[in-house]
Amino acid sequence: MTFDVIQGLLDALPVPTLLVSKGERVIGANARVETLLGQGLSGRHLITVLRQPSVLDAIEACEASRQTQTTRYLTSTDRNEMTYQVHCGYVEIADAKGVLVSFEDITHVEAISQMRRDFVANVSHELRTPLTALMGFIETLQGPAKNDPVAQERFLGIMMTEASRMNRLVSDLLSLSQVESEERIRPSLSIDLTLLIGSILRSIGPVAEKARVALVKEAPSDPILVPGDEDQLRQVFTNLIENAIKYGGNDQTVTVKLTQMERDPALRGPGVRVEVCDTGPGIDQVHLPRLTERFYRVDSHRSREMGGTGLGLAIVKHIVNRHRGRLKIDSSPEEGSRFTVILPALD
């Protein structure tokens, strides 16, 4: 079998692949592996091509045992780190004998695994903190405060707060799970956003009044219709408006603006924009890309004090995705924040 035939076979493979001779020289490499490891690989000694001991050991073990070997190859670009699963298999092609080394990009798999590990760690931490507090107060009530009605009343109040915090967290986790499971199913009911936003503002009114926050609605009087799930859209806008009230500060104004667009640039078609704007302290630009991550908080202590679970905006993002919409966040310190939900208009 000629070199051209071997090279043709390598080029036909969909992943970066090279062929290493028994003398540990590269005798064939496809274009994909040259993009990964550099140009002009053929003819070079293996140690000048791959410098990670685990990969070199796997190739050597494969050649010695003629058994398939697997390992990891780690590299980095200007933007991120990449992880490859390396498969080494012994081959005999006519007079050519050696090890076929292929590189499978598993960066996305590793990222998902890391997200799962982080998620479990975050949930454990969020639950452990109130549980530790509850156990401590129970121990106190069984001991030093056993016959102290004043202390009992105070501790029971704190215990109720911590239990409520756990209940909110569990509720948000269940909500997030449900939203994620339904994300590929596009809702089709006709929802009037004008009526929905009006209903939400009326229900949140007492909360805003207590915080001395003025709620302003800017919307056409005519119905604005979108295909959607009413409960989920209510959850989205309730979350955004409540956040604006909580984090915008007292004596501020929260404006909810509805705009119908014949052609929205974000959707490349007819759309509806719902903007929730506050005049509060704003958010530093560095935090904006991560605000919709699970358990990400700009100020963890303040968020927990206000009853936040760190899941609200993650739920909002998934609901908006389910509705084939977009979520935009604009904010700067001392200039307030604007959260914009862009939804396709009803055909």
The DSSP symbol for 323 reads T
Return d(Cα 319, Cα 27) in angstroms, integer: 52
pLDDT tens-digit profile of 103-125?
999 998 888 888 788 788 878 87
State the angle between helix axes of 107-142 and 149-181 in degrees (0 to 180), rounded to the nearest 10: 160
CB atoms within 10 A of CB 86: 20
Count of residues making up the chain: 347
pLDDT, residue 58, reads 95
Q: Is residue 294 within 8 Å of 273, Cβ to Cβ?
A: no
* 17 DSSP β-pair partners: 102
pLDDT, residue 304, reads 58
Domain with CATH 3.30.565.10 in the chain: 186-344
For CA atoms 49, 54, 57, 58, the dihedral sign is negative
- In the structure, what pLDDT confidence band is assigned to residue 158 with cuts at 50, 70 and 90? confident
End-to-end CA distance of the chain: 61
Q: What is the mean pLDDT of the chain?
A: 88
- Range with lowest mean pLDDT among 32-46, 206-220, 300-314: 300-314
* Higher per-residue pLDDT: 281 or 4: 281
- In the structure, what pLDDT confidence band is assigned to residue 94 with cuts at 50, 70 and 90? low
pLDDT of residue 1 exceeding 70: no
pLDDT of residue 205 exceeding 60: yes
- In the structure, what pLDDT confidence band is assigned to residue 81 with cuts at 50, 70 and 90? confident
The tokens for 140 are: 């106190």
What's CA 249's distance to the chain center, in Å?
27
- In the structure, what pLDDT confidence band is assigned to residue 320 with cuts at 50, 70 and 90? very high
pLDDT, residue 87, reads 96
Read out DSSP for 59-96?
HHHHHHH---EEEEEEEE-SS-EEEEEEEEEEEEETTE
pLDDT tens-digit profile of 171-182?
888 888 888 888
**3-state SS of the chain: helix, strand, coil percent to 5?**
45, 25, 25
Q: What's the CATH superfamily of 186-344?
A: Histidine kinase-like ATPase, C-terminal domain (3.30.565.10)
Choose the CATH number for 1-105 among 3.30.450.20, 3.40.190.100, 3.40.50.970, 1.10.150.130.
3.30.450.20
Return d(Cα 247, Cα 241) in angstroms, integer: 10
Burial of 107 (0-12, 13-18, 19+ CB in 10 A): middle
Return d(Cα 286, Cα 292) in angstroms, integer: 13
CA neighbours within 13 Å on the CB side: how many for 174?
6
Amino acid, single-letter form, for residue 133: A
Burial annotation 188-215 (CB, 10 A radius, 16+ → b, else e): eeebbbbebbeebbeebeeebeeeebeb
Domain with CATH 3.30.450.20 in the chain: 1-105
- Range with lowest mean pLDDT among 81-90, 115-124, 181-190, 326-335: 115-124
Rounded to 5 degrees, what angle do the CA atoms 96, 97, 102 make? 105
pLDDT of residue 325 exceeding 60: yes
pLDDT of residue 303 exceeding 60: no
221: helix, strand or coil: coil
Residue range 231-252: mean pLDDT, rounded:
90
The DSSP symbol for 49 reads H
pLDDT of residue 85 exceeding 70: yes
Instruction: Say which residue the tokens 């979108």 belong to.
Output: 226
The tokens for 184 are: 């590929």
